[in-house]
């Protein structure tokens, strides 16, 4: 039987494995670790790197538990009870503007209703992985979605189209009418309700988690010698500003962490080291920046996209 202890231990090991891969890929930076405890129960390990290729990156593990706050119970449509939320959350902001920003989160949640039987816990898995290029590179987008489809298809051929659409809808800045990047996959509340076992759902989540490091290292290596200058760095800061807007205005994970008394520094580690906002900025017609904005929209079939 798959236990919450086994799931929690896996997430801890995944954090270790990914941090080792990223340190090797950066070549210079090393993760700083902060151990923290939540007064109401549980805690985590926050790890942040600032290196020669990764300007700022966070790879966080947490496992928090306790009595579920009433507003969280209402928001999730659950009876009050004792909850556990555990997972790994990652955001990497690169030095080179030609390397994309990447985000991944995989998580497990369960709640034992008050007065319910020991085997009556409600549980589900959630998560996702998405790519936010400062400059959209169609070949990069195609590779990213092909790899995600491969990971999804190994478990169910219906996963990729469903979770790809979910990502398009979720990673969307409604106030800007643009997607955060070129999407990826997003999923939530994956339980036994659709006929999958807990073990099958966990196997899929592990597949996503273990796809992360090879995917991102591919982009670090591909673009490591791409030249850039002041113009590209200025655009990078503007795009980072959009990233900040999404995480602070729309991201449900940020809100959940703050509402459950999570560690603020760990929750906000996703923010870039520097960002910029310029009033009513419009890129020049025909520029690479304007082309990128034209591709920040829902519904693009990146695997079969014919543009250049």
Mean pLDDT on 273-302: 96
Whether the per-residue pLDDT at 81 is higher than 90: the answer is no
Give residue 200's Cα distance to chain centre. 21
The residues, any chain, with a CB within 8 Å of residue 143's CB and separated by 6 or more, are 218
Q: Which residue has the higher pLDDT, 32 or 72?
A: 32
Q: How many domains does the chain have?
A: 1
Average pLDDT score over residue span 223-251: 96
Structure confidence at residue 82 (pLDDT): 86
Arithmetic mean of pLDDT over the chain: 93
**Is 103 considered catalytic here?**
yes
Is the per-residue pLDDT at 116 higher than 70? no
3-state SS, one letter per residue, for the chain: CCCHHHHHHHHHHHHHHHHHHHHHHHCCCCCEEEEEECCCCEEEEEEEECCCCEEEEEEEEEEEEEECCHHHHHHHCCCCEEEEEEEEEEEEEECCCCCCEEEEEEEEEEEEECCCCCCCCEEEEEEEEEEECCCCCHHHHHHHHHHHHHHHHCCCCCHHHHHHHHHHHHCEECCCCEECCCCEEEEEEECCCCCCCHHHHHHHHHHHHHHHHHHHHHHHHHCCCCCCCHHHHHHHHHHHHHHHHHHHHCCHHHHHHHHCCCCHHHHHHHCCCCCCCCCCCCCCCCCHHHHHHHCCCCCCCHHHCCCC
| Domain that includes residue 68, residue range | 4-304
pLDDT of 195 over the 90 cut = no
What is the share, in percent, of the chain residues with pLDDT greater than 70? Answer: 98
Closest CA to 60 of 111, 23, 112, 107: 107
The CATH code of the domain that includes 15 is 3.40.1500.10
Spatial CA neighbour of 247 closest among 167, 168, 171: 171
Confidence of residue 117 (pLDDT cuts 50, 70, 90): low
Q: Which of 65, 103, 134, 145 is flagged as catalytic?
A: 103
| Range name among 21-25, 67-71, 81-85, 204-208 with the lowest pLDDT average | 67-71
Given a contact cutoff of 8 angstroms between Cβ atoms, the answer to whether 152 and 144 are in contact is no
């Amino acid at each position: 039987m798959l236990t919450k202890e086994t799931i929690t231990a896996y997430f801890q090991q995944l954090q270790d494995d990914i941090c080792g891969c990223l340190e090797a890929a950066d070549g210079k930076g090393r993760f700083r670790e902060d151990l923290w405890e939540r007064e109401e129960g549980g805690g985590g390990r926050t790890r942040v790197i600032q290196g020669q290729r990764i300007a700022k990156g966070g790879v966080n593990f947490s496992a928090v538990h306790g009595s579920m706050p009433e507003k969280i119970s209402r928001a999730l449509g659950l009876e009050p009870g004792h909850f556990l939320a555990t997972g790994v959350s990652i955001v990497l902001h690169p030095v080179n503007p030609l390397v994309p920003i990447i985000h991944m989160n995989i998580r497990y949640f369960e709640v034992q209703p008050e007065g319910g039987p020991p085997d009556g816990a409600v549980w589900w898995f959630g998560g996702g992985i998405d790519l936010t290029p400062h400059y959209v590179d169609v070949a990069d987008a195609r590779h990213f979605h092909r790899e995600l489809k491969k990971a999804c298809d190994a478990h169910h051929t219906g996963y990729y189209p469903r979770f790809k659409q979910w990502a398009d809808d979720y990673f969307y800045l409604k106030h800007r009418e643009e997607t955060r990047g070129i999407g990826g996959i997003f999923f939530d509340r994956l339980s036994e309700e659709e006929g999958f076992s807990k073990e099958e759902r966990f196997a899929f989540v592990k597949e996503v988690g273990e796809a992360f490091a090879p995917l991102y290292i591919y982009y670090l290596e591909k673009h490591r010698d791409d030249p850039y200058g002041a113009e590209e760095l200025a655009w990078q800061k503007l795009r980072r500003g959009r990233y900040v807007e999404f995480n602070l205005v729309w991201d449900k994970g940020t809100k959940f962490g703050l509402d459950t008394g999570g560690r603020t520094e760990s929750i906000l580690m996703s923010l870039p080291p520097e960002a910029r906002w310029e009033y009513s900025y419009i890129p020049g017609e025909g520029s690479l920046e304007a082309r990128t904005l034209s591709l920040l929209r829902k519904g693009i079939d990146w695997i079969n996209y014919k543009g250049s």
